Chains A and B, each alone.
Chain A
Amino acid sequence: MTRNLEDESVASQEPESSVRERPPQVIEVAPQVLRHRTRRDVLLFGAGAVAALVGGGSLLPERTLKRMGVIQGNKNWPKTEWLLNRSLRFDDDVAEALYSRNRLVPTYAKSQITPLRNNYNGATPDPSYIPEWRLTLDGLASGLSVSLDIRNLLGSFQVHDQITRLVCVEGWSAIAWWAGLKFDDVLRAYPPMAQAKWARVDSSVNLGPRGNPDPYFMSIDLPTARHPQTLLATHFNGRPLTVYHGAPLRLLVPVKLGLKNVKAITRITYTAERPKDFWAERGYSYYDGI
């Protein structure tokens, strides 16, 4: 008891500070209380550890578990992708909430331009499609299908320059100089049907890994299509697009991942329902907003 009194008297001489470490709280308990509590919490901890191991393990891809030897042979592993898909949708909802039509992406000076690689999934298409190339617009308010060639497009819309960063889902990025029509201008000139919420952007000339025809299709929500920096690009580095970069017209949507930036667009279809999406079918997100 005297010890405690002595402490208090000494402690009170020092200035009291709210950030100073407090003395530890010592309590006196019966030995069996400590034993029971330890047993209870260690059992709870063990149960939690097993749950985390099973729960966490079940989230791992089948290929990883096979390599680890957890599952063997061709046994069917139950698909436990619900939580992963749910978190992907949640992340898409966050991205959509962050999006604002008025928020412009950073633009750069010409001196900051970096080399841009072509991430064509397979091979770069043969340029033979270019002479007959036309852009088809479907799902319009007029109920008609419109077909335009590159001269129609360049003749009837203003061309805008922009130097922006293209970010790939793989992690790399490049700053590139583009020019093209605003998607928004095309939407105004050829309005989509009233109930349309999406644009499906197709490239029928896309090739697969072995040079086989492999049409590419991506969905883009109309609020993003109306973003002032969303272009239907016709030029790269001040010159008409090369086949390597998606001649004669590609989608340039810097508020989305690179995989939404469809090269060599051949058709745009406005729809009320969410269209199919090449990479979402392969486990990536639908929204891809960055």
Chain B
Amino acid sequence: MIRSIHLGEVIATRMPEERAGVRVVRRHQLLVRWSHWLNVPIILGLVLSGVSIYWASPVYQHKPDPVTGNVDPLADIGIWICAHVPGLHKYSNPSDWVYNHVSLGPGMLAVALRLHWLGAYLFMLNGLVFTLGLAVGGGWRALLPRRTDPRDALRMFRYYVGLPLARLRRHPWLHPRFNTKYNALQRVAYCSVPVAGLLSVVTGWAIHKPMQLSWLTGIAGGYDNARIWHFWLMWVFILFVVPHVMLVLVDGWDTLRSMIVGWSTRAQRLEDL
């Protein structure tokens, strides 16, 4: 019995009758693919320069250390790492360890600011390209949250949690079936990241122009709160990217190719429903 929903519309192309063609689904619009990949260097540059800017005046500070005068918990983490990780005992500036590894480096505010402005303007332009791609290709519809999302997200979550154990015990472990482009967990992630991008831009301007755009700074909860929001919005990207890359690699070549070429050969899966 075939269920009725969202079966692909097959467009016959010039195919000789006797030769078998490959059925492919158009998954990602050209502009969406371009902006997706351009985001990689742009966001990386924004994070590296952003942490260097953070160094100049950390959002989170504790009381000055009586010996070193240090107020920055990130410097404490560096000192701890150098004291406890084998091979790092002779690291010349333990308090700079974190900044030396996740930013351009300490003491580089001027160049970090210039890199951050370049990245920020490119990020905003790229956001427009992405939005245009979603609008032209109609892909935005697949990103909208649905009423069924909480229940379906739970099903997917159960699937991911149980998967490793099922694999180990060689038990069959079925992927929940969806007739939509994304499952509910994907939809939550792919919908919230553009929103986080928009909020990063808004809080960024709130910090950058707190006088001329003071109304915007007010919306962001004032200058100091806007800095805190901006800082944690960076973490949304970092926390998204890690499972995002892992799951793509696990899912395989077809998924990766669909973001490069735009096509997926998993047309079959949709029709088996």
Residues of A within 8 A of B (CB): 3-4, 6-7, 10-11, 19-31, 34, 37-38, 41-42, 45, 48, 52-53, 56, 59-61, 63-64, 67, 83-85, 87-88, 90-91, 95, 98-100, 103, 105-106, 165, 167-173, 254-255, 279, 282-285, 289-290
Question: Which chain B positions have C-beta within 8 A of A41?
Answer: 260-262
**Cα distance A279–B108 when bound, in Å?**
13
Residue B7 CB within 8 A of the other chain: yes
* Cβ-closest chain B residue relative to A57: B41
A23–B6 touching, CB < 8 Å: yes
B13–A95 touching, CB < 8 Å: no
Interface residues in B, total, Cβ within 8 A: 70
A29–B24 touching, CB < 8 Å: yes
**Extra inter-chain contacts (11) besides given A3-B2, A25-B26, A255-B211, CB under 8 Å:** A19-B144, A26-B8, A27-B24, A29-B13, A29-B21, A30-B22, A34-B263, A37-B263, A41-B261, A61-B105, A64-B104
B7–A3 touching, CB < 8 Å: yes
Residue B57 CB within 8 A of the other chain: yes
Question: Among B48, B118, B214, which residue has its beta carbon within 8 angstroms of that of A84?
Answer: B118
**Cα distance A233–B224 when bound, in Å?**
25
Question: Which chain B positions have C-beta within 8 A of A34?
Answer: 22, 24, 263, 265
Instruction: Write 8 A-B pairs (CB below 8 A) sorted by A numbering.
Output: A7-B4, A21-B180, A24-B8, A24-B27, A24-B270, A29-B22, A41-B261, A103-B211
Residue B245 CB within 8 A of the other chain: no
* Cβ-closest chain B residue relative to A24: B25
Question: Which chain A positions have C-beta within 8 A of B110?
Answer: 279, 282-284
Question: Which chain A positions have C-beta within 8 A of B270?
Answer: 24, 26
A21–B13 touching, CB < 8 Å: no
**Which residues of B, 177-209, contact A by the 8 Å Cβ criterion?**
180-181, 207-209
Residue B9 CB within 8 A of the other chain: yes
A48–B209 touching, CB < 8 Å: no
* Cβ-closest chain A residue relative to B100: A67
B105–A168 touching, CB < 8 Å: no
Given the known A-B contacts A25-B8, A34-B22, are A171 and B214 also in contact in the complex, defined by CB atoms under 8 Å? no
**Cα distance A151–B244 when bound, in Å?**
67
Question: Which chain B positions have C-beta within 8 A of A60?
Answer: 48, 104, 115
Given the known A-B contacts A27-B11, A34-B24, A105-B211, are A171 and B53 also in contact in the complex, defined by CB atoms under 8 Å? yes
User: What is the number of contacts between chain A and chain B, taking CB atoms within 8 Å?
Assistant: 190
Residue B129 CB within 8 A of the other chain: no
A171–B23 touching, CB < 8 Å: no
Given the known A-B contacts A19-B141, A84-B118, are A30 and B181 also in contact in the complex, defined by CB atoms under 8 Å? no
A21–B141 touching, CB < 8 Å: yes
Question: Among A4, A67, A83, which residue has its beta carbon within 8 angstroms of that of B7?
Answer: A4
* Cβ-closest chain B residue relative to A11: B4
Question: Among B13, B59, B100, which residue has its beta carbon within 8 angstroms of that of A27?
Answer: B13
Main secondary structure of the interface of B (DSSP, over half): mixed
**Cα distance A61–B26 when bound, in Å?**
41
Residue B257 CB within 8 A of the other chain: yes
A24–B26 touching, CB < 8 Å: yes
Q: Could you say which of B7, B10, B45, B138 has the most chain A C-beta atoms within 10 Å of its C-beta?
A: B7
Given the known A-B contacts A67-B100, A85-B114, A88-B114, are A25 and B223 also in contact in the complex, defined by CB atoms under 8 Å? no
Question: Which chain A positions have C-beta within 8 A of B214?
Answer: 105-106
**Cα distance A98–B211 when bound, in Å?**
10
* Cβ-closest chain A residue relative to B211: A105
B89 to chain A, nearest CB (A): 19
B57–A20 touching, CB < 8 Å: no
**Cα distance A83–B122 when bound, in Å?**
12
Residue B213 CB within 8 A of the other chain: yes
Question: Which chain A positions have C-beta within 8 A of B142?
Answer: 21
**Cα distance A283–B105 when bound, in Å?**
16
A157 to chain B, nearest CB (A): 24
A77 to chain B, nearest CB (A): 13
Q: Could you say which of A24, A84, A103, A254 has the most chain B C-beta atoms within 10 Å of its C-beta?
A: A24
Question: Which chain A positions have C-beta within 8 A of B20?
Answer: 31
